[in-house]
Amino acid sequence: MTSSVPLPGHHLPSSRGGADEAAPDPEAIRAAVGELLAEADRAAQVPTGAGTADVHGLVSLTRRAQILGRAHDVLVDALSSVDKS
């Protein structure tokens, strides 16, 4: 009795179309994630605390979390496309 083993990423819909497309370019992924990390670093430089609009730093923290979430999505999409090929 044999059964198929589910593979990572096969449950996700393909965001790029068919399976004939090439695997993602690692350098492009590194560049995209690097840009997002640099953006998160810039967001961390925004002043917070007494006398600012962001007294407790929550706006800055939320912004950085959103940017890091986008970087995570880039990596998940890349892994998913590699799993499907």
Return the higher-pLDDT residue of 19 and 44.
44
In the structure encoding, which two tokens stand for residue 58, read together?
């929550």
Q: What is the pLDDT of residue 69?
A: 97
List the domain range (segments joined by +) for residue 31: 26-84
Total structural domains within the chain: 1
Please check whether residue 15 lies inside any domain of the structure. Answer: no
Please check whether residue 78 lies inside any domain of the structure. Answer: yes
Distance of CA 6 to the CA centre of its chain: 24
Q: What is the pLDDT of residues 35-84, one digit of tens each?
A: 999 999 999 999 999 999 999 999 999 999 999 999 999 999 999 888 76
Please check whether residue 4 lies inside any domain of the structure. Answer: no
Q: Please state, in angstroms and as integers, the Cα–Cα distance from residue 37 to each residue in 51, 62, 70, 78, following that order.
A: 27, 14, 10, 17
